[in-house]
Structure 1
């Protein structure tokens, strides 16, 4: 054999080894996360249309007919207090338009209840536990936070695996002189090749969007999201920390007091009102606080958190569909002075990028087009998952799992281990899961005969 032929054969073997190694990893990763990916896609599709769901199924609590002058915020919150006599007012949501109800959050013990009030005639339209509201439940199931912190970590791992599946899947799809399965489907649903092509083509064309959904969903994850938020905050990259330099700060952070804080400001400290003024001045009251927030130009539909104690502040915040309208204002409860007024335009670049990504992830940035684009991505995830299962089932040998074969050259793993190490640094939980998965494949499956037979 000539040196040229030998070199060509070695190159061919190396290419086959890399293909098989990535195919094997792709298989294991998909096997582990398909149930979680399906949950994310289905619940995510529902959450994209949360406003439409509210208007269609829960319009009786959100929609009102304008009739006369609006009641004052003080009157509305007092009505809500009477609806739950033993409760205390936590926050007030100003109606987003003339046809919308006001929403008051009332705390009774450790539980919070949303009270929907007609701002014109004072009728209580509905009361629902804050954690029982439909879209809140959907969002919590979406993140698996509904089932506890440990389950939420599984979603974080899934997000990392989804990115790995996209990258490895595009490599596996990449045309290698084949005539079909690149942009077209071969065969019929009776044949495995049809489902293979459907899986590959769907993943290839939707891959970038699936990767986008995965990376923009990571900020909500408990471990990665919390640590990244803390890292950005400590370096002034999430929000402009200098705004708090001359303001006394409480031990509370924004997520402690608002029903829906923006991700960038979740860990931002809540200021304190002028404690000295508390001895001589009277609080301005909710009516004045609402008027101050409106006068400062905050968009309609904002939440106003009530002061916590004598040194607390009023906090007005809005997170509209257009991310540029995000704003958080902390108001001294005695002087009415805005202590911190933070708008989206003041975020550093990384803070803006993350908030924008989150907004697009939720289908809010470009109206209906954004919703439909993200819905199409969710449907592509469902198609990818279903076609993967059918394709595997048709390929699976009787009594065995049908795992793709081991690469002929094990040396190919050295380079892949380096990539995994970098991935583990960027996404620790997902990286750790990959390391466990590969160690299982290379040690247990390789050296334990019963497992080797099952995973053949």
Structure 2
């Protein structure tokens, strides 16, 4: 009879203790994350084409007939909105092209915000909607589960971490061993057989696994817990937001994201500077702001790309702030002007970020499908379709394998040291992503209480 070591060497891969330990974690990862991966893939695929969809749905608001006359001054367009709604303008989004309307965001007396669209050639108001009230903003909020509250937002952060775990364990399970023929890069059998689903699931996963990890890791920058502290790190070191551009500039306590609503990830929590020029003049007279038209002229003089958003001064020390985050990273720009002198207090572009900030902004641009144009969108759409297929095929595999009336948890490894070793490795990921690590502890405890311990008690009875 062959000895024990020879038997272990020749045993089917599914019977090895390490394989079973990895399979068990892969099963739990899939059980938790697959429903969320379907949600993320479907909403993410739609959001890749957010501009195209919103432009089509709201074309009556967003587009105008181009006239052979110069656009009206911004102040005239703002006055038209004030006449139409009677509320205070707080932000202006300039047209990105001659055939687009000007979007003016107002703060209503009821405490909410509305976006009013104005024809820049005639000053006619084309209509309004709630600020961030488009279909694609709703899709974005569903994608992050922000629509359902902070706790749900934490769930998405956990799901992203488990997605990385799913890819890591899945790659180990896929890895060819011994004299295995087929199933590594080919699909065997027919859809009626479980092996077809297993091969299709594995082969698809090995081709899109890198993209899943990339999307999950970069998606963490928007997360409630990890994203917050990563952003603080970026803003607290020269590797992210460059502190040198704000030396000797008085700063407020208002972060950029509060003023603009949407900014670059690297700058969203950086404070806005304060206007002080002319505040202490010799005659004691109250200083006079330069006005929105002069501010717009200054922004154009500084060369900011069309389509930028302007945040209006919020009080005597407020500033005129312009920002734009287009598909082309090189055109990212943030400019703050003193509202009295028009002096640029901060003028910063993508090239001014530290190495960490630049890598993160590039990663986020790719995640959003805008760094490489249509090719970026198509590739990520294919990845999203593959993720949906993998989730469905994983469910079919489980359904075909599970015993009747059972959850079908993969068997415990014969050597528990293997399970401990795999868990220790996974703990590294839990340290990097603490919220994910906490969820791993919960899953491990539930497994020990309701699956592993009863199984061992049954075997020793």
Q: What secondary structure is seen at the aligned counterpart in 1 of 2:427?
A: helix
**1-side partners of 2:258 and 2:97: how far apart?**
27
Which of 255, 258, 265 is 1:263 aligned to? 265
Question: Does residue 1:125 correspond to 2:126, yes or no?
Answer: yes
Question: Does residue 1:415 correspond to 2:421, yes or no?
Answer: yes
Count of aligned positions: 450
Whether the aligned pair in 1 keeps the contact of 2:278 and 2:340 (CA below 8 Å) is no
Q: How does 1:28-427 map to 2 (within 5 A)?
A: 28-67=28-67, 68-85=69-86, 87-108=87-108, 109-176=110-177, 177-274=179-276, 276-277=278-279, 279-427=285-433
Higher mean C-alpha displacement, 372-381 vs 15-24: 15-24
1:126, CA displacement in angstroms? 2.4
Higher mean C-alpha displacement, 32-41 vs 307-316: 32-41
1:75, CA displacement in angstroms? 1.2
Change (3 A) 1:398 1:257: same
**2-side partners of 1:152 and 1:452: how far apart?**
40
Whether the aligned pair in 1 keeps the contact of 2:74 and 2:293 (CA below 8 Å) is yes
Q: What secondary structure is seen at the aligned counterpart in 2 of 1:330?
A: strand
Change (3 A) 1:415 1:75: same
**2-side partners of 1:122 and 1:267: how far apart?**
35
Q: What secondary structure is seen at the aligned counterpart in 1 of 2:107?
A: strand
**2-side partners of 1:81 and 1:404: how far apart?**
65
**2-side partners of 1:153 and 1:445: how far apart?**
26
Change (3 A) 1:124 1:210: same
Whether the aligned pair in 2 keeps the contact of 1:329 and 1:341 (CA below 8 Å) is yes
Whether the aligned pair in 2 keeps the contact of 1:184 and 1:201 (CA below 8 Å) is yes
Whether the aligned pair in 2 keeps the contact of 1:444 and 1:451 (CA below 8 Å) is no
Residue deviations 1:41-77 (CA, integer Å, cap 9, x gap): 0110111001110222221111222112211111112
Whether the aligned pair in 2 keeps the contact of 1:445 and 1:452 (CA below 8 Å) is no
1:7, CA displacement in angstroms? 4.3
1:337, CA displacement in angstroms? 0.4
Q: What secondary structure is seen at the aligned counterpart in 2 of 1:264?
A: helix
Q: What secondary structure is seen at the aligned counterpart in 2 of 1:125?
A: strand
Partner of 1:17: 17
Q: What secondary structure is seen at the aligned counterpart in 1 of 2:416?
A: coil
**2-side partners of 1:174 and 1:250: how far apart?**
55
1:188, CA displacement in angstroms? 1.7
1:449, CA displacement in angstroms? 6.8
Whether the aligned pair in 2 keeps the contact of 1:159 and 1:214 (CA below 8 Å) is yes
1:441, CA displacement in angstroms? 1.3
Change (3 A) 1:179 1:82: farther
**1-side partners of 2:144 and 2:83: how far apart?**
35
TM-score between both structures, scaled by the size of structure 1: 0.94
Residue deviations 1:99-134 (CA, integer Å, cap 9, x gap): 111111111142111111111122222211114221
Change (3 A) 1:396 1:74: same
Whether the aligned pair in 1 keeps the contact of 2:277 and 2:340 (CA below 8 Å) is no
1:277, CA displacement in angstroms? 2.6
Q: What secondary structure is seen at the aligned counterpart in 2 of 1:64?
A: coil
**2-side partners of 1:10 and 1:189: how far apart?**
32
1:258, CA displacement in angstroms? 0.6
**2-side partners of 1:401 and 1:327: how far apart?**
53
Runs of 4+ in 1 over 3 A off after TM superposition: 5-15, 448-453
Change (3 A) 1:78 1:450: farther
Structure 2 unmatched ranges of 5 or more: none
- Root mean square deviation of aligned Cα: 2.1
Higher mean C-alpha displacement, 111-120 vs 312-321: 111-120
1:420, CA displacement in angstroms? 2.4
Residue deviations 1:127-146 (CA, integer Å, cap 9, x gap): 11114221111111100001
**1-side partners of 2:80 and 2:199: how far apart?**
60
Higher mean C-alpha displacement, 298-307 vs 278-287: 278-287
